[in-house]
Amino acid sequence: MDQGASQALVMLRVKDRLTSGKVEMLCKEHIGDKTNWRTMLKGQPDSQDLLALKQTLMEKIAPGLEAIKQEFGLQAVSEVDSPMHAINYPVSVYPSKITSINAEKTPEFSGVLNGIKGQYWLLDDNRVINIRKYSGYTVTLKAPDA
């Protein structure tokens, strides 16, 4: 959710972080793990059939999963039967042309918060700020007087 995913599906259960990393490397051979953040913030993407994609991916990584089980034990990784989850974000208006706010160059700014998608705040005038980038900063928010 932090990265703005609009759908999710649990595929596997692993015993530890090391095994998780090995499974991730198997998956990366067949699917990309990067999303263009600007495209993601321009609206809701089309829904995907994650169950079909999971089945295809599981077939492709089956030999690698078997190798992990042989090395780390049969309980190291197991398939999970899970429904697809839709993830909705509180966005009233998506930007049409994104202008990124850099809080180091513009430490004060104001505007209307049109939504939040993952780690991004979507403001009026097509402005966006990656709020996670400023972890550890002190931020003051003020609501307009009613």
- The percentage of residues in the chain with a pLDDT greater than 90, rounded to a whole number, is 73
**pLDDT for 45:** 82
- Asked if residue 139 has pLDDT above 90, the reply is no
1 or 114, greater pLDDT: 114
Cβ(95)–Cβ(41) under 8 Å?
yes
d(CA 128, CA 119): 10
pLDDT of 46-93, one tens digit each? 899 999 999 999 999 999 999 999 999 999 999 999 999 999 999 999
Q: Is the pLDDT of residue 144 over 90?
A: no
At 146 the pLDDT is 62
pLDDT over 80 at 34, yes or no: no
- Start-to-end CA distance of the chain, whole Å, equals 32
Rounded to whole angstroms, the Cα distance separating 113 from 80 reads 38
Order of strands, edge to edge, in the sheet holding 120-123?
A: 99-100, 127-130, 120-123, 113-117
Instruction: Please indicate whether residue 46 or residue 98 has the higher confidence score (pLDDT).
Output: 98
Average pLDDT over residues 81-107: 93
Let me know: does 87 contact 7? Beta carbons within 8 Å.
Answer: yes
Chain-wide mean pLDDT for the chain? 92
Is the pLDDT assigned to residue 41 strictly greater than 80? yes
- pLDDT tens, residue by residue, 118-132: 999 999 999 999 999
Residue 94's CB is within 10 A of a number of other CB atoms, namely: 18
* Cα of 32 vs its chain's centroid, Å: 12
SS3 105: coil
